[in-house]
Amino acid sequence: MDVNEHLLNVVDVEATCWEGQPPPGQVSEIIEIGLTVVDLRAGERLAKHRLLVRPARSRVSPFCTELTGLTQTEVDGGLPFAEACRALAARHQTALLPWASWGDYDRNQFTRQCHQTGTEYPFCRRHTNAKVAFTVSNGLRRRPGMAQALMMAGLPLEGRHHRGDDDAWNIAALVLHLARRGDWPAG
């Protein structure tokens, strides 16, 4: 029995974005990775982490700053994407531990960016789409956004919405809410 089999990494990323289409030559890139470690057995969030990532092929737009609070100057001090992926694997056992995100955006963005940059994918294959689990658990037809799901579950939105570390923390609260109900899918 693995000592860490009850741990789960909950991940949320923020990426460069624009009000409309990206400017010519720019692509959406991860600029912040939020990660909350969850102990499913103890039913608690253990730690909240944040990694800033320096974009290589885009700039932080005013729209992106308004949405996330992140500035170009701030992310310029971040790690290059490949280094951030290595840091995730080294510090948070992301290649070994199951992980979850709200929807498939985060998983797809990592997959796309790793492919585009030739970077080794930092996560294991055991991924749970927490949005789907919440939707099924509540018998909903439409998949709610994270903030709406928190309201439905009677949980507070802690921190700033669209901030990677705060969103991962809030998604982790939803994961634990589902686990307490017996509705979190077994790894």
pLDDT in tens, 82-124: 999 999 999 999 999 999 999 999 999 999 999 999 999 999 9
pLDDT over 60 at 2, yes or no: no
pLDDT over 90 at 4, yes or no: no
Copy the structure tokens of residue 129: 């789409």
CATH classification of 7-180, choosing from 3.10.620.30, 3.30.360.10, 3.30.420.10, 2.30.40.10? Answer: 3.30.420.10
pLDDT over 80 at 187, yes or no: no
**Greater pLDDT, 5 or 135:** 135
Residue 5 pLDDT level (bands cut at 50, 70, 90): confident
Question: What's the chain's average pLDDT?
Answer: 96
60-86 per-position pLDDT tens digit? 999 999 999 999 999 999 999 999 999
pLDDT over 50 at 1, yes or no: no
6-33 per-position pLDDT tens digit? 999 999 999 999 999 999 999 999 999 9
Q: What is the pLDDT of residue 186?
A: 75
Query: What is the 3 state secondary structure string of the chain?
Result: CCCCCCEEEEEEEEECCCCCCCCCCCCCCEEEEEEEEEECCCCEEEEEEEEEEECCCCCCCHHHHHHHCCCHHHHHCCEEHHHHHHHHHHHHCCCCCCEEECCCHHHHHHHHHHHHHCCCCCCCCCEEEHHHHHHHHCCCCCCCCHHHHHHHHCCCCCCCCCCHHHHHHHHHHHHHHHHHCCCCCCC
